[in-house]
Amino acid sequence: MGSDYADAADLLRSATDVTLLAHVNPDADALGSALALALALKKLGKRTRVSFGSPDIVPESLRSLDTDGLLVPASEVPAAPATLVVLDCGSDRRLGPLIDRVTATRAAGGRVLVIDHHVGTPRFGTDHILDSSAVATAVLVLALLDELEVPLDPAIATCLYAGVLTDTGFFRRATGATHRIAARLLDEGVDAEALSRRFDEHPFAWLRMLATVLGRAELVPEAAGGRGLVHTAVHLSDLVGVSMDDVEGVVDLVRSSSEAEVAAVAKELEQGVWTVSLRAVGDFDVRAVAASLGGGGHRLAAGFTAHGSAEDVLASIKRALG
């Protein structure tokens, strides 16, 4: 792993123009990691840009991370970047409409650095920093910044802290090493209270959406080999006055049910197209379930995309759970 960091640092030192991509529907780890590295490379005199395939707007809770205006629309991403960095993508499919940038960059003789912490991420780049034991991609980016000898500042530290905070379930899945990293980032000037508040705040319409969605939750005690499943769905009609970003935390509320070790929330992106979040407690592996349905993730947190009715999607989850 040490040589991976050294090789990646050499690659970025020699680059003059770097494009950094997060996965579609970016979360704080994906976007925070990309922006942190872009800010650091800017300090080294590189021209940088950050983007993601979809949606067309940045999630409200993450907009303040882009302190230097480095985010650009997907339409402005070069067709074949000379140096491409892909962050927090368990596969190139997670780039959505920007997946062709990987192929085009490699075909043109460019370099593709993949930085990720998901289990089973294929080596689809030319260079890789892959470590499934890391709690967040942001942790891997921090180690790379140390290799590059770029000092942290409040903006970079805040981007990294956002990734660590959210990918550990607000430190519910943190280790001692995680807290030491968090302490280091806090010492660099992160306003943890303000950052956490941005993830907690929602419009008033969120309360009505939540009441509706939780009201249709169902418990299936016999699912997952008797460990239990609790599930619900968020329909397009539930999203009046709220964004998809506002529903990301619903699965963590559903997971709080003590009668089930597995929670599933299907969220309708467009008519008949769903993104499904899976969560688990104990030793149940929802990554394997997501993988069987075309997705991926981690043992306790995973997801996939599905098509059909809400009933079809939830039935497929029950079958996959056994």
Q: If we measure between CA atoms, which residue out of 175, 151, 150 comes closest to residue 164?
A: 175
Q: What is the pLDDT of residue 296?
A: 86
H helices of 168-204, where? 176-187, 192-200
Q: What is the pLDDT of residue 22?
A: 98
What's residue 2's pLDDT? 60
pLDDT of residue 322: 82
Compute the average pLDDT of residues 170-177: 92
Query: β-strand 262-270 against 273-280: which pairing, if any?
Result: antiparallel
Residue 229's identity, in one-letter code, is L
Nearest to 250 by CA among 262, 264, 235: 264
CA-to-CA separations, 123 to 113, 119, 134, 290, in angstroms, rounded? 10, 12, 17, 20
| Per-residue pLDDT at 261 exceeds 90 | yes
Q: Bridge-partner residues for 101, per DSSP? A: none
The predicted structure's pLDDT at residue 298: 87
Write the pLDDT tens digit of every residue in 54-81: 989 998 899 999 999 999 999 999 999 9
Tell whether the model's pLDDT for residue 196 goes beyond 70. Answer: yes
Q: What percent of the chain clears pLDDT 90, i.e. is strictly above it?
A: 88
What per-residue confidence (pLDDT) applies to 1? 60
Query: Average pLDDT, stretch 37-43?
Result: 98
Cis amide prior to 73 (ω within 30 degrees): no
- Given a contact cutoff of 8 angstroms between Cβ atoms, the answer to whether 158 and 28 are in contact is no
CA distance 41 to 149: 11
Residue 117 C-alpha from the chain's centroid: 10
pLDDT in tens, 131-156: 999 999 999 999 999 999 999 999 99
Please give the average per-residue pLDDT across 190-216, as a whole number: 95
CA 34/CA 314 separation, integer angstroms:
33
Residue 119: the pLDDT is: 86
pLDDT per position as a tens digit, 102-113: 999 999 999 999
What residue type is 171 in one-letter code? F
Cβ atoms of 40 and 61 closer than 8 Å: no
* Residue 191 identity: D
Helix (H, G, I), strand (E, B) or coil at 72: coil
**pTM for the structure as a whole:** 0.90
Average pLDDT, the chain: 95
- SS3 at position 301: strand
Summarised one tens digit per residue, pLDDT across range 153-167 is 999 999 999 999 999
Average pLDDT over residues 277-283: 91
